[in-house]
Amino acid sequence: MRIFLLQRYTAVALLVFLTIHMVVVHYPPGEIHFSNIADRLENPLWKAIDIAFLFAVLIHALTGAYMVLTDVERFDRFKRALAGIAVIAGVLLFIYGTQTILAF
């Protein structure tokens, strides 16, 4: 039940973050250049927004994959191992993504 709620909370967060992302990154006035993105990422607020977006995406995706895999009865006895793999993958991907964002 907690995973179900976590999935719903991150879905709402993703709606907010995706709207911000689409408006700011994909539909800005003028042309999109790397220098514009680099200037935006110099601001700590945008770094925090991007890191929160990354966190929401990872939680949503990994909990969704976990729920789909554990719905299959063949994987029922591997629930704990699948959860561990999801947590490890999430932490590693979050560290990698955060380092990439903070590099700017």
pTM of the complete model: 0.84
Residues 39-62: tens digit of each pLDDT: 888 999 999 999 999 999 999 999
Q: Where are the alpha helices (DSSP H) in the chain?
A: 2-21, 34-41, 44-71, 79-102
When pLDDT is cut at 50, 70 and 90, the band that residue 33 belongs to is confident
pLDDT, mean over the chain = 88
| Alpha-carbon gap, residue 14 to 11, rounded angstroms | 5
When pLDDT is cut at 50, 70 and 90, the band that residue 69 belongs to is confident
In the chain the domains, ranked by start, together with CATH numbers, are 2-102 (1.20.1300.10)
State how far the alpha carbon of 51 is from the alpha carbons of 31, 44, 74, 77, 104, in Å.
25, 10, 35, 34, 13
When pLDDT is cut at 50, 70 and 90, the band that residue 1 belongs to is low
Q: Would you say the C-alpha torsion 70, 75, 80, 84 has a positive or negative sign?
A: negative
Q: Over 80: is that where the pLDDT of 99 sits?
A: yes
| Alpha-carbon gap, residue 25 to 42, rounded angstroms | 15
